[in-house]
Amino acid sequence: MPRYTDNEIIIPYCTDASNGKGYADELVIPDSVNEVVEFMRSTRGMVTLSGGGTGLGGGRIPDGGSIVSLERFQACTYDSALKQLTVQSGVSLADVHRIASEYGCFFPPDATEWGASVGGTMATNASGARSYRYGASRHHVVAIDVLLANGELMRLRRGQHTAVDGILKLPSAGGDVYSIPVPAIPRPLTSKNAAGLFLVPNLDAIDLFIGSEGTLGVITAATLQLQILPESVTGMIIFFQTSDECVSFVEAIHENELRRLVTPPRLVEYFSSSSLAVMRTKTTGIPDNAHAALWVEIEHASDNADEVLEQWFGWLKDYTPLGDETWIAGSDAGRERLRRFRHALPSGVYERLTATGQRKIGTDFAVPHSYLRQLVENYAEYEQQFGDRMILFGHIGNAHLHANFFYANDSEEREAQNAYMNLLEFTLRVGGTVSAEHGIGRIKKEYLRKMVGDDTINTYRAIKQTLDPHWRLNNGVMFDRV
Ligand SMILES: Cc1cc2nc3c(=O)[nH]c(=O)nc-3n(C[C@H](O)[C@H](O)[C@H](O)COP(=O)(O)OP(=O)(O)OC[C@H]3O[C@@H](n4cnc5c(N)ncnc54)[C@H](O)[C@@H]3O)c2cc1C
């Protein structure tokens, strides 16, 4: 098994897309589960787990000790009867999507960054644009293989071990039982949440590890439940003169979807005026008077595209005078162009940091849907104030927006921090979450504590202590030991 101590090899693994930096004594790249087991049993030191390095919370950034990267875990098998894809953790989301489509299927959540690994995706319970309709990754996972810090391998299938009366009992291979407390903990009233361990009354053991950000075990493989590709999908970019019009339309989508009057979209994504300004530098055809836009996709039967479009156009003319300027994509290639149009925003943020050496602070907050208009108004005020030092976009269908504040010096940093903290206070005041999809990592631990309180953090600590008594795995990620 390759083990490296040469700094030049280790350094690229000491960062992620948050641009933070860490250090480690050693990088280990095992070829097999047995090698990871052997490594975990033979060392006493701290271990940081490394996936694709696209994380935005600094979770894979080491704080000394060893890094274990599962990048060589690339095996896949497909069960055509069940439409289940079993993938080892090093497989990228790009490969998951490619393989799924070869079998006429897809993996629904579609997190934006396809360079992410399956291990990282499970560890953060990633979600994506299509989570509007399909939820986060955990809803599409039927089994996982997890290795505990003591080198014990567990194969967990959904439904096999669930909490009863506030306790989840996990039998160990050695005949012991791990007894994990699962107290009733209030959860935010948002449609997405990736902040903290997933503790619900009938907790399934799988869901404890999914979203645990590598703090409880090493996920070595996952079995994903794929869905059959829909017959047809139509994508649209709809332009609005104001963000207010846009919010009214999103609210109408919710209303109509609840009442089942229109074909429901599978994603509802937002481009604010600042993101349209960025996109105008990359592409032509955005109407001059557009100050907000939505990207939507609708699944439908292959013979009713006209009916679907008629329904949507009949409806959106009441909300935007720019309805005739809508971009429509019915083909795979056309829809891929719209997807890339959206992906250019988060990847542009990342490129800007690398190119300019600027830093940024970015929100991943979501609020209950009833606060959507207030949310957009609050962010819009900061867009005015920050000009090109802020880009705002996100999953508006889930009342979940990403505001990225860039800064180049101390005073800009203070200004960005103030804006971030004001938006955080608003989020918590209305019962929202400090992280809807990126997770907590090393960066947002204090915000998680503010959100869930000390008692809940103590529960997380007790669970960690049960499964990883020497605090070796991803120590200092999500919550601290003391
Ligand atoms: C441009 C861009 C767009 C993005 N868009 C989205 C989005 O739409 N939705 C979204 O949810 N996220 C998004 N992200 C964030 C990121 O892609 C996800 O958090 C992703 O799931 C991280 O996967 P990774 O393999 O890169 O993990 P890493 O960054 O390597 O690690 C993330 C965490 O997982 C842990 N980990 C990694 N592998 C394992 C394992 N095998 N077992 C246990 N723990 C492990 C790490 O220790 C760390 O705590 C985006 C990031 C970028 C840069």
pLDDT of residue 110: 87
Q: Does residue 131 share a domain with residue 221?
A: yes
CA distances from 392 to 56, 276, 280, 292, 341 (A): 16, 9, 15, 10, 14
For a ligand 1 pocket test, name from 13, 21, 35, 60 the mutation site with the most ligand atoms within 8 angstroms of its C-beta: 60
Q: To the nearest whole percent, how much of the chain has pLDDT over 70? A: 100
The reply to whether ligand 1 has any atom less than 6 angstroms from the CB of 348 is: no
Q: How confident is the model at residue 84 (pLDDT cuts 50, 70, 90)?
A: very high
For ligand 1, atom 23, the nearest C-alpha belongs to 120
Number of domains in the chain: 3
Give distance in angstroms: CA of 211 to centre of ligand 1: 10
CA distance 3 to 454: 39
Give distance in angstroms: CA of 151 to centre of ligand 1: 23
Q: Is the pLDDT of residue 64 over 90?
A: yes
Burial class for 383, CB neighbours closer than 10 Å (0-12, 13-18, 19+): buried
Beta-carbon count within 10 A of 317 CB: 12
Query: CA angle 337-340-343, nearest 5°?
Result: 160
pLDDT of residue 324: 94
Q: Which of 79-88, 161-170, 336-345, 438-447 has the lowest mean pLDDT?
A: 336-345
Give distance in angstroms: CA of 227 to centre of ligand 1: 23
Of 210, 228, 246, the position where a domain reaches its end is: 228
For a ligand 1 pocket test, name from 48, 50, 54 the mutation site with the most ligand atoms within 8 angstroms of its C-beta: 54
Q: Does residue 388 share a domain with residue 247?
A: yes
Of 198, 228, 258, the position where a domain reaches its end is: 228
Centroid of chain to Cα 396? 15
Q: How confident is the model at residue 286 (pLDDT cuts 50, 70, 90)?
A: very high
53 is in which domain, residue-wise?
3-69
For ligand 1, atom 16, the nearest C-alpha belongs to 55
Residue-wise pLDDT for 329-365, tens only, equals 999 999 999 988 888 888 888 888 888 888 899 999 9
Positive or negative CA dihedral for 46, 49, 50, 54?
Answer: negative
Instruction: Return the amino acid letter for 233.
Output: V
What is the CATH classification number for the domain harbouring 45? Answer: 3.30.43.10
Give distance in angstroms: CA of 109 to centre of ligand 1: 14
What is the CATH classification number for the domain harbouring 346? Answer: 3.40.462.10
CA distance 72 to 99: 18
Beta pairing partners, 237: 295, 327
For ligand 1, atom 15, the nearest C-alpha belongs to 55
The reply to whether ligand 1 has any atom less than 6 angstroms from the CB of 49 is: yes
Q: Does residue 365 share a domain with residue 301?
A: yes
The reply to whether ligand 1 has any atom less than 6 angstroms from the CB of 141 is: no
For ligand 1, atom 10, the nearest C-alpha belongs to 126
Give distance in angstroms: CA of 19 to centre of ligand 1: 13
